[in-house]
Amino acid sequence: MNHGSLSPRRPAREVKVGPVTMGGRAAIVIQSMNATDTRDVAATLAQIERLAAAGCHLTRVAIPDLEAARALDEIVRRSPLPVVADIHFDHRLAIAAVENGAAKIRINPGNIGGPQKLREVVDCCRAHGVPIRVGVNAGSLSREMLQKHGGIGAPALVDSALTAVRAVETAGLTDIVISAKASDPALTIAVNRALARETDYPLHLGVTEAGTPENGRVRAAVALGTLLAEGIGDTIRISLTADPVLEVEAAWTILQALGLVRRGATLVSCPTCGRTEVDLVPLAAEVERRIAGIRRPLTVAVMGCPVNGPGEARAADVGIAGGRGEFLLFARGEVLARVPESEAVEQLLALIAERFPEEETDADSR
Ligand code: SF4
């Protein structure tokens, strides 16, 4: 939860994406994008199931042709998550996607074929109660925008996004979500700050081409963490060159780090120092792996020494602090027992199971 350390959330207007609400007082929506061929219904649904199990709220699929648009019908009927259709260039694909059950479509109104074709898409969206995400990208700004603003930068991206929004509004729809993405975190921050000032539509945050999981998570956390701390952002997608389930896990980590959600176990562990007399690094990794399935909000500490350990980790619900060949087992700063190093992990897990049984949980903050 926001403990008052963050800026108040920017009040965005509410947009419904199937059963999911973006903006308003709704929790920040975590989304991802399928890496599967949408025409392969079984593979796409299998990946959506995995995304849902990881805590994803919404997924997007690419619609490169009519076959993919038609596949949506079965995907949407069997999907546990609302499905967003990603369309470029061809307005007929956008219409087909909506008619086949897409909960939202993502288009760039500038490349959908002109005002008349955009109006046909908008008419179809209105008839089906489907919102549009207007998505602009630093890598695909129009020549006109680049010339007008002297190249890629926040002014060109903001102008491009707002021009696209006006085009959709003029065509008759105000159920709009905006995304303006760049691979540069600083540019992503600048653009979304400006959009937050200029409009009250929900903002979809993301860093494009963020990279491999290691690099991409940091780049996304810098950009999205900054914006979210300023109260900006209603839905997030962490783009990684990896299994999309990792995107969802990264999104949860960012939201948990800011206190915007309380869900699942969080490991806090010390960096180790000259006082450490146990082999803490593999042990912390093992604890992190073993608590990954816990859905109850819980903070677990793994500390290197008894001098500072239980005290430093007083805020943790449970923890262990290493000594010479043994660990102290503690809860909220209170030492409960001394256990041999070889039993420390099992004893910690037993304590968690005893004090924080899963059946009591209401894991998800949404
Ligand atoms: S908890 Fe102890 S071992 Fe870990 S960094 Fe602090 S002083 Fe060092």
215-238: per-residue pLDDT in tens?
999 999 999 999 999 999 999 999
Average pLDDT over residues 111-138: 95
Reply yes or no on domain 15-257 having CATH 3.20.20.100: no
Q: Hey, what amino acid is at 208?
A: T
In this predicted structure, the answer to whether residue 279 has a pLDDT above a threshold of 50 is yes
In this predicted structure, the answer to whether residue 365 has a pLDDT above a threshold of 70 is no
Backbone dihedral angles phi then psi of residue 144, each to the nearest 5 degrees: -60, -45
What is the distance in A from the centroid of ligand 1 to the CA of 275? Answer: 6
In this predicted structure, the answer to whether residue 129 has a pLDDT above a threshold of 80 is yes
pLDDT mean across residues, the chain: 92
* Residues comprising the chain, all counted: 366
Average pLDDT over residues 81-110: 96
Q: Is the CB of 274 under 6 A from ligand 1?
A: no
Q: 17-21: which pairs have CB atoms within 8 A and are 24 or more residues apart?
A: 17/58, 17/82, 17/84, 17/103, 17/104, 17/131, 17/177, 18/82, 18/103, 18/104, 19/82, 20/57, 20/58, 20/82, 20/103
pTM exceeding 0.75: yes
What is the distance in A from the centroid of ligand 1 to the CA of 306? Answer: 8
More confident residue, 312 or 86: 86
Residues of the chain with CATH 3.20.20.20: 15-257
Q: Tell me the percentage of the chain whose pLDDT exceeds 70.
A: 97
| Tokens 């209401």 sit on residue | 362
> Closest Cα to atom 3, ligand 1: which residue?
304
Average pLDDT over residues 100-111: 93
Of 140, 24, 154, the residue nearest 88 (C-alpha): 140
Residues of the chain with CATH 3.30.413.10: 265-360
Which residues have CB under 8 Å from 356's CB, separation 6+? 294, 296, 298, 317, 318
> Closest Cα to atom 2, ligand 1: which residue?
305
Atom number, ligand 1, closest to the C-alpha of residue 273:
8
Atom number, ligand 1, closest to the C-alpha of residue 309:
1
Q: What is the pLDDT of residue 3?
A: 57
265-360 — its CATH code? Answer: 3.30.413.10
Q: Is the CB of 277 under 6 A from ligand 1?
A: no
Please tell me the number of Cα atoms within 13 Å of 256 on its side-chain side: 21
Q: Is the CB of 84 under 6 A from ligand 1?
A: no
In this predicted structure, the answer to whether residue 360 has a pLDDT above a threshold of 60 is no
Q: Tell me the percentage of the chain whose pLDDT exceeds 90.
A: 78
**Six-digit token pair at 213?**
């999981």
